[in-house]
């Protein structure tokens, strides 16, 4: 377990800082959410079962670490997105609630624990993501591959989606993950290139795009997927340009969701995009040729990922049938 900076004592309780690099930033007051962003409190019995299984297997989930608003709904259906390689990220993106700092040592038992949880949950489809591990020689690529292989062995009927970091452009990393043959390879662009220096400062827009393009060139049978947050101050034509860039990289599935500010130290919400505007984005994206588009205020990379995977497969078959006809 990583111990982060101790800064405060209230009633004798030490307070751990999740984002030490953000503490010097001025506060951005959190705006009241509009009526269309409402989620149910997590109190379903299956939610508690999912929670207990994650703890029993010693697993970290992005659902909890990112404070995802959909956790009540997803966990009530046993959909949890496991976050491998620890709970501490080596980057410091200004939108992200995952804790930052010195990461934990690699745990060789993690692939088996993830696979065991997937089998016990009886998942048709699983999403596996990770923190950024810029400290590792391969960015964590071999560990991703080990988790994919362990899940395949323990739950052969489960389709596997990985949501990876950019591996800090480490040579051979993408190839290692592709060779393990996930069904879906997701890598999020997150925002438009103009906002990278403030929102995603450790990443490079065209490197992320190249990663997606490389996956498709290495294995065209793997579905590729990418996501954007809106409401960070981007302009509509910039989103259109990103859609075009993703189509040039032959990305199959686009997700678009509203950015929500986790704490006062994170980037401010510039705008709450209306559900109607999301529908417009979805219509345009479909017109640009994505096989599948999910664009709603609460869309997240892994939201409804199992149903979406089935739709993605059906869309590819329909397109291939159309080409053959
Ligand atoms: S949308 Fe994804 S991250 Fe959020 S609760 Fe559902 S599975 Fe977890």
Q: What is the pLDDT along the chain (325 residues), one digit of tens a residue?
A: 443 443 333 344 445 678 887 788 888 989 999 999 988 778 899 999 999 999 999 999 999 988 899 999 999 999 999 999 999 999 989 999 999 988 988 999 999 999 999 999 999 999 999 999 999 999 999 999 999 999 999 999 999 999 999 998 899 999 999 999 999 999 999 999 999 999 999 999 999 999 999 999 999 999 999 999 999 999 999 999 999 999 999 999 999 999 999 999 999 999 999 999 999 999 999 999 999 999 999 999 999 999 999 999 999 999 999 877 6
Q: Which atom of ligand 1 is nearest to the CA of 298?
A: 1
Residue 10's pLDDT is 37
* C-alpha 230 – ligand 1 centre gap (Å): 17
| Count of CB atoms situated within 10 Å of the CB of 9 | 9
Atom of ligand 1 nearest to the CA of 300: 1
H-helix segments, the chain: 45-56, 62-65, 71-76, 110-121, 141-154, 173-179, 196-199, 205-218, 236-248, 275-287, 305-324
Cα–Cα distance for residue pair 171/252, rounded to 1 Å: 24
Q: Please give the number of the atom of ligand 1 that sits closest to the Cα of 127.
A: 7
pLDDT at residue 315, as a whole number: 95
Distance 8 CA to ligand 1 centre (A): 31
Kindly give the distance from the C-alpha atom of residue 227 to the centroid of ligand 1, in angstroms, as a whole number.
14
Cβ–ligand 1 contact at 304 (below 6 Å) = no
Q: Tell me which residue has its CA closest to atom 2 in ligand 1.
A: 302
Please tell me the predicted confidence (pLDDT) of residue 7. Answer: 39
Whether the pTM exceeds 0.95: the reply is no
176 lines ligand 1 (CB under 6 A): no
DSSP 211-261: HHHHHHHH-TTSEEEEEEEE-SS--HHHHHHHHHHHHHTT--EEEEEE---
């Amino acid at each position: 377990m990583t111990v982060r900076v101790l800064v405060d004592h209230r009633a004798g309780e030490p307070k751990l800082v999740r984002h030490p690099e953000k503490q010097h930033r001025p506060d951005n007051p959190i705006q009241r959410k509009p009526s269309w962003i409402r989620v149910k409190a997590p109190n379903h019995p299956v939610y508690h079962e999912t929670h207990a299984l994650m703890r029993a297997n010693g697993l970290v989930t992005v659902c909890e670490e990112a404070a995802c608003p959909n956790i009540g709904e997803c966990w009530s259906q046993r959909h949890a997105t496991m976050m491998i390689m620890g709970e501490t990220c080596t980057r410091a993106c200004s939108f992200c609630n995952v804790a930052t700092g010195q990461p934990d040592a690699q745990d060789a038992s993690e692939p088996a624990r993830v696979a065991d949880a997937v089998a016990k949950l009886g998942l048709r489809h699983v999403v596996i993501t990770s923190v950024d591990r810029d400290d590792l020689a391969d960015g964590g690529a071999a560990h991703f591959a080990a988790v994919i292989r362990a899940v395949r062995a323990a739950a052969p009927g489960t389709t596997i989606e990985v949501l990876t970091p950019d591996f800090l452009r480490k040579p051979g990393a993408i190839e290692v993950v592709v060779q393990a043959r996930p069904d879906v390879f997701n890598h999020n662009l997150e925002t438009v290139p103009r906002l990278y220096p403030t929102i995603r400062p450790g990443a490079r827009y065209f490197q992320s795009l190249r990663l997606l393009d490389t996956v498709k060139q290495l294995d065209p049978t793997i579905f590729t997927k990418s996501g954007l947050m809106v409401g960070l101050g981007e302009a509509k034509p910039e989103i259109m340009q990103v859609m075009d860039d993703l189509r040039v990289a032959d990305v199959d599935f686009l997700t678009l969701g509203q950015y929500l500010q986790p704490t006062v130290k994170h980037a401010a919400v510039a705008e709450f995009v209306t559900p109607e505007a999301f529908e417009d984005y979805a219509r345009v994206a479909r017109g640009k040729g994505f096989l599948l588009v999910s664009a709603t205020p609460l869309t997240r990379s892994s939201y409804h990922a199992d149903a979406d995977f089935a739709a993605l497969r059906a869309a590819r078959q329909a397109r291939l049938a159309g080409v053959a006809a």
